[in-house]
Amino acid sequence: MTRPTPEMRRAMAEADVGDDTYGEDPTVRLLEEETAAILGKEAALFVPSGCMGNQIAVAVHTKPGQGIVLDHLSHVAMVEAKAVTGFLGCRLITVPAERGLLDPGLVERGFADAKRAGVAIGLVEVENTHNWSSGAIYPLPLLDSIASDAAARGVPVHMDGARLWNASAATGTPLATFASRAHSVMVCYSKGLGAPVGSAVAGSRAFLERARAERKTFGGSMRQAGIVAAGALHAVRHHRERLVEDHRRAGRLAGAFAEIQGLELCHAEVRTNIVVADTGGDEAVRDAFLHAAAAEGVLLGPAAGGPGRFRAVTHLDVDDAGIDRAIAAVRIAARSVLVS
């Protein structure tokens, strides 16, 4: 939803470029080096999208026929299932995690379910922050217990950190600290960070070598990619500190939604930039509500986890006045669709 800022446009226009398929794009290399350093990993790989980053990690970590233990509302299960099962031949072993956050008991349950189905687990996947759970953040002790549990079973952990930047901004915990609990991590430069295109997947040098080959196979190896990498680099350098503003504004939205008749917050705790709430009805009611809000000039999206759920996300292009307008629009939509 964000538009590149004039400064970002300038950085993109002036970017040094080369053929990244041969590793010769200096801007892509700079972005990959800075990202790897932030994540505390040996290396990072620029990819066109978060979906591709996750799928590359699955391709490197697993063999066809193996299972992945993950939350039932995770992005990989909700959006990428066809790629992971159809193209990579994996089985999804989903567990119903509270707020999307796995714990040792759920991991245990996933392994037991897989065993009964005759499936060997090849990967445990965690999503931090968790999109459909109002951007829930993994507490470090929970990540620790999952990491040691998976390690004891000899299974790697992949972190879908599309919004790991937000987890770090909200907690003050460095991204590298979160990332150290996983063998590989995917981060998005688009979304709240505000770059027009791009994500990265990071891990050990050995992981990266295989990831690079998988990226080529997936069709994600780009040529003069420095033009888009420059936008991502600008976002990493200049848009991270302001994420706390998005979080503060999402908190205001959540507080207002909680007071609006006909709406129910799905998660009491909103610490990052996503608010999921429920209109209490079926999909038709929810969609009528979303239309009414759109007619007031405010875009909200449907959310997974229940037929009446919707999602509000704050970002770079939403200021305090925008939050005021959003609250007013949601109030009007709720009054006309949900209460009357």
Q: How far apart are CA 335 and CA 324, in angstroms?
A: 17
For residue 264, the cross-strand partners are 278
Q: Which helix (H) or strand (E) holds 184?
A: strand 184-188
Dihedral pair phi/psi, residue 304, rounded to 5°: -80, 160
Task: Work out whether 243 is an interface residue with ligand PLP (CB under 6 A).
Answer: no
DSSP string, 196-232: SS-EEEEE-HHHHHHHHHHHHHHT---SSTHHHHHHH
- The residue among 75 and 331 lying less far from ligand PLP, judged by its C-beta, is 75
Question: Interaction with ligand PLP in 92-131: which residues (CB under 6 A)?
Answer: 127, 131
Which residues have C-beta within 8 Å of that of residue 217, sequence separation ≥ 6? Answer: 59
Among 36, 44, 51, 164, binds ligand PLP (CB under 6 A): 51
- Of 184-203, which residues contact ligand PLP (CB under 6 A)? 188, 190, 199
CB neighbours of 260 closer than 8 A, spacing ≥ 6? 330, 331, 334
Residue nearest to ligand PLP (CB): 50
Segment near ligand PLP (CB under 6 A); pick from 49-57, 105-113, 209-217, 312-320: 49-57
**In angstroms, what is the minimal distance from the CB of 118 to ligand PLP?**
29
Query: SS3 of 272, please?
Result: coil
Question: Of the two residues 74 and 329, which places its CB atom closer to ligand PLP in the complex?
Answer: 74
Phi, then psi, of 310 in degrees rounded to 5:
-140, 170
Would you count residue 162 as binding ligand PLP (CB under 6 A)?
yes
Residue 241: count other Cβ atoms within 10 Å of its Cβ: 9
Closer Cβ to ligand PLP, 32 or 127, answer by number: 127
- For β-strands 157-161 and 184-188, DSSP reports them as parallel
- Closest to ligand PLP by CB, 20 vs 127, is 127
* Residue 329 engages ligand PLP in binding (rule: CB under 6 A): no
**Cβ at position 34, least distance to ligand PLP in Å:** 19
By CB atoms closer than 10 A (0-12, 13-18, 19+), residue 215 is buried
Q: Which window, 50-58, 64-72, 91-99, 240-248, contacts ligand PLP (CB under 6 A)?
A: 50-58
Q: How far apart are CA 76 and CA 94, in angstroms?
A: 10
Q: How far is the CB of 308 from ligand PLP (least distance, A)?
A: 21
Q: Which is nearer to ligand PLP, 110 or 135 (CB)?
A: 135
Indicate the residue among 51 and 121 with the shorter CB distance to ligand PLP. Answer: 51
In angstroms, what is the minimal distance from the CB of 190 to ligand PLP? 6
CA dist., res. 284 & res. 288, Å (int)? 6
Give the shortest CB-138-to-ligand PLP separation in angstroms: 12
Helix (H) or strand (E) holding 312: strand 309-313
Q: Which of 71, 160, 214, 278 binds ligand PLP (CB under 6 A)?
A: 160
Q: Residue 135, interface with ligand PLP (CB under 6 A)?
A: no
Among the listed residues 41, 61, 75, 181, the single contact to ligand PLP using CB under 6 A = 75
Q: List residues near ligand PLP by CB under 6 A.
A: 49-51, 54, 75, 127, 131, 160, 162, 188, 190, 199
